[in-house]
A and B are shown apart, each in its own frame.
Chain A
Amino acid sequence: MKDTLYDYLLILGDNPLILGHRLSELCGHGPTLETDIALTNLSLDLFGQVRSLFQYAAAVKGGNATEDSVAFLRSERGYKNAILLEQPNIDFAHVMVRQFLYDAFNLPQLEQLVKSKDKTIAAISAKSIKECRYHFRFSSQWIRRLGGGTEESHRRVTNAINVLYPFADELFNETMAEQKMKEVGIGADLAKIKPIFVNEINETFNEVGLKVADIAPRIAKGKEGLHSEQLGHILAELQYMQRAYPNMQW
């Protein structure tokens, strides 16, 4: 049970960790100063969530575990983020589609988790959901701008949807940990999230003439630790200091 809860916390925490990292790569490189600041805000919120979740994960794990050992000292196969979140910042359309898909999934997930029987998860989720509502507004608004903006933006956002939407399905593939946590009233029921997600996506896309029809999902098992080639490079950067200078205080 303890191991399952720990695994579940990793699934919850690795998504914002890896997405937060991708967003942090854009700090200083945004299309406008205002957008730069907004993207960094998203990243900061996500890392804040990661810290809460990993502090809890470290407590569940016990021993010498800390938020940082959980975040930095696992091998690649031990990370449980969905592959969607590790996809690179090809252009601003990819950044916003990745964000929108995650927000449209995570918001209904958090709506369930605020009622989790695990009081710590419920409390963390209650804080996160406020941020996630804002993120969803931000990313869905950008999807509208890009979809309903210029020919180029419409083409780019369509391309990003074609590339990224096939990874979204993984978010709903229930792992063992997710199943068990759902059964004991701690975790979210992913099957209930899916129709809400599909509805939100379609509604926003329809407003500006975007479509998701006829894109087959891809095989993606990030939540089980089988990643794309992207994650290893992210970890090389993320873990650099902890690996090069082990057992030091920073």
Chain B
Amino acid sequence: MMPKQNILDDAKLADQFQDHIDADEKIEPKDWMPDKYRNTHIRQISQHAHSEIVGMLPEGNWIGRAPTLRRKVALLAKVQDEAGHGLYLYSAAETLGISREEMIDQLHTGKAKYSSIFNYPTLSWADIGAIGWLVDGAAIINQVMLTRTSFGPYARAMVRICKEESFHQRQGYEIMLTLCRGTNVQKEMAQDALNRWWWPSLMMFGPRDNESPHTEQSMKWKIKRKTNDELRQQFIDNTAPQADFLGITIPDPDLKWNESRKHYDFGEIDWDEFWTVVKGNGPMNKERLDARKKAWKEGTWVREAALAYASNKVH
């Protein structure tokens, strides 16, 4: 009898759960939730956290070479913000019953993914501008949507994070603007960075809707409120006029304002490249993961010492 009773209860709970979501009420960690909802969130929030942490590496690559003291301080602070985002997000995921160590282990073993954009190299100072402008810009579009996601801790983390991300984006754009108003060499540097970061930035929104199997369930649970293609279009519509203002050219011959759609039309993304990077064979996948594993491994004795000292003091 018991199992049947449980199934009935679960069905009732699931209905109530969906009612909450339909009424736009937040789900909190102690509330009942379907296992699949819990696991989807653990996966998504931890991957988001990993992206923040791995994302520190490409920009960290230019801290030592920042051209002025002002730029150096701004870049250091920006990369530090990303570490803070990682912290909030790991904490949000922990409310669902997974530890930070487990999540980090999943990153290191490759079980958990992170955003593929960070598997591209930063080759010039202009990349720091381009990343702020395009990568943080794309992240914001996704994250603004997530401030209204159904899971309370995730939504609240996003509110804090979005404020900082929009600052990062303005800062990145300002770097690009300075370069584009500078010498020819600087402008070339800016154009080259746009050429290299444009398409990977569009890929940040994920596969096209008809190839995105999770979208329907995610919309129903209000994890997502817009589809990948809608978000990508929004990003392009925002960004194209900004490139015009800079006076540099988006590397897409098909990019054109479509008056009847009131949107920009754009060319085809290289989906082979997208999947190649997702599968681990991008230009920097190995180096990024190795750097994270190395930091964690070399930090082991430090973490152990801190724990031992704390418990020595108590006893």
Binding site for B on A (CB under 8 A): 21, 24-25, 27-37, 40-41, 43-44, 47-48, 50-51, 54, 67-68, 71-72, 91-92, 144-146, 148-150, 152-153, 156, 237-238, 240-242, 245, 248-250
Contacts and interface: CB of A to CB of B under 8 A. Distances in A.
Nearest to A247: B183
B251 interface: no
Contact of B72 (A30, A47, A150): A47
B246 interface: no
Q: Which among A36, A91, A238 has the greatest number of chain B C-beta atoms within 10 A? A: A36
Contacts of A30: 295, 299
Interface string B45-65: 000000001001100100111
B267 interface: no
Nearest to B64: A237
A204 to B, nearest CB: 13
Contact of B69 (A71, A146, A249): A71
Contacts of A28: 53, 56-57, 60, 79, 83, 291, 295
A31 B298 contact: yes
B308 interface: yes
Contacts of A27: 56, 60, 63, 76, 79-80
A48 to B, nearest CB: 7
Contacts of A92: 298-299, 301-302
Nearest to B301: A152
B308 to A, nearest CB: 5
Contact of B304 (A37, A71, A149): A149
B195 interface: no
Nearest to A67: B69
A31 B63 contact: no
Contact of A37 (B66, B83, B298, B302): B83
A241 B83 contact: no
A67 B56 CA distance: 27
Q: Which among B60, B67, B71 has the greatest number of chain A C-beta atoms within 10 A? A: B67
B72 A149 contact: no
B60 A35 contact: no
B236 to A, nearest CB: 28
B64 A21 contact: yes
A250 B63 CA distance: 14
Given A21-B64, A68-B69, A145-B305, A43 B83 contact: no
B309 A145 contact: yes
Closest A-B pairs by Cβ, 3 of them = A31-B299, A149-B305, A153-B305
B243 to A, nearest CB: 20
User: What DSSP secondary structure best describes chain B's contact surface?
Assistant: helix
B104 to A, nearest CB: 9
B306 A24 contact: no
Given A47-B69, A68-B69, A248-B185, 9 more contacts: A21-B64, A27-B63, A27-B76, A71-B69, A72-B68, A241-B67, A242-B67, A248-B182, A248-B183
Contacts of A248: 67, 182-183, 185-186
Interface residues of B, number: 49
Nearest to B63: A24
Contacts of B57: 28
Contact of A31 (B65, B69, B79, B302): B302
Interface of B: 53, 56-57, 60, 63-73, 76-77, 79-80, 83-84, 86-87, 90, 125, 175, 178, 182-183, 185-186, 291, 294-296, 298-309, 312-313
B57 to A, nearest CB: 5
A153 B178 contact: no
27 contacts: A27-B60, A27-B63, A27-B80, A28-B56, A28-B83, A29-B291, A32-B303, A37-B84, A40-B79, A44-B80, A51-B70, A68-B68, A68-B69, A71-B69, A72-B68, A145-B306, A146-B302, A149-B305, A149-B306, A150-B305, A153-B308, A237-B65, A238-B64, A240-B65, A241-B66, A242-B67, A250-B67
A29 B298 CA distance: 9
Contacts of B186: 245, 248
Given A27-B56, A37-B87, A47 B76 contact: yes
Nearest to A37: B83
A44 B73 contact: yes
Contacts of A148: 309, 312-313
B64 A33 contact: no
A237 B175 CA distance: 20
Nearest to B124: A241
Nearest to A242: B67
Contacts of A145: 305-306, 309
A208 to B, nearest CB: 8
Contacts of B178: 249-250
Contact of B305 (A33, A34, A67, A152): A152
Contact of B80 (A37, A51, A72, A249): A37
A245 B87 CA distance: 37
A142 B117 CA distance: 36
Contact of B308 (A41, A43, A150, A249): A150
B48 to A, nearest CB: 14
